Amino acid sequence: MSSAQWTTSSIESTLHLNPSTPIPSNASSLPNNSALIKVSHASLNPVDLKASESFIFRLPIIGSKAPHIPSCDFSGTVISTNILPHLKPGDRVVGFTSIPNFGTLAEYVVVEGSENIALLPDSVSLKDAATLTVAGQTAFQCIAPYVSKGDHVVIYGASGAICSAVNTSFCKTLGADHVIDYNLGPVCEQLRKSGRQYDLIVDNVAVGGPIYAQAHHYLKPARIYATIAAGPDWGTVSGIFKCWYHSVVVRTIK
């Protein structure tokens, strides 16, 4: 099968396509509570890169056999199962693998744990479903519990890591009323000068950064500032300490 692979030295310098990757060695004799999946689509998210860059995240990966296949989100079709009564061959499914397994940037992947695989409704395409697990649930947990109809929300970094004016129409098709171009000046300054007050800020860019530091200008009192930009580094630790210093409640996303 074909897969993307990297070694433990660096994902950036060693990532390559291997068209002759062996099918997972445990595919012919599946562990209990697992399934062999033919991958239709895989979705990328920050944990795929952070796990390879951070020493803390890399510990379980280094202990496993190289080369490694990255990515954890997937959609696909069940080929075979072992003690997973809710699944049968041919079922369309969505799910994710966990550290240090990963492995979804490949034609086939063995997924362990019934909680990691879900049946996919016919109304949802395999292409769209691949974004629903880690990335989709993270976005949902950052927004859904904290807003009501009529609330105003700021999503900082709404169109990915390389946002620009060309993505304005894209953001508006997703429901944005107003799109800020960071090339026109610091986003926190643009928010402050707008004079608007918001019910929720979702920061996809930084922990304890300028959006948080200036939030008292545009975030309503006692409302939520949520960030998913945490990385396993000292910048994240210092950002969390800043939040604690200012009596901000820090919660993790499950």
CB within 8 Å of 192: residues ≥ 6 apart: 214, 217, 218
**Tokens (6 digits) for 145:** 């519990």
Percent of the chain with pLDDT over 70: 81
Residue at which a domain ends, from 101, 131, 161: 131
Residues 97 and 8 in one domain: yes
Residue at which a domain ends, from 131, 163, 194: 131
pLDDT for res 45: 81
pLDDT for res 79: 97
CATH of the domain at 247: 3.40.50.720
* Range(s) of the domain holding residue 106: 3-131
| pLDDT tens, position by position, 130-151 | 999 988 898 899 999 999 999 9
Residues 51 and 168 in one domain: no
Residues 9 and 119 in one domain: yes
Low-confidence ranges of the chain (pLDDT < 50): 250, 252
CB within 8 Å of 47: residues ≥ 6 apart: 57, 72, 99, 134
Residues 153 and 110 in one domain: no
Residue 225 φ/ψ, nearest 5 degrees? -110, 115
pTM over cut 0.85: no
Residues 123 and 176 in one domain: no
How many domains does the structure of the chain reveal? 2
CA distances from 77 to 44, 156, 223 (A): 19, 35, 42
Residues 120 and 8 in one domain: yes
Residue at which a domain ends, from 113, 131, 149: 131
Residues 126 and 206 in one domain: no
Residues 23 and 112 in one domain: yes
Residues 47 and 125 in one domain: yes
Residues 82 and 32 in one domain: yes
Residues 126 and 146 in one domain: no
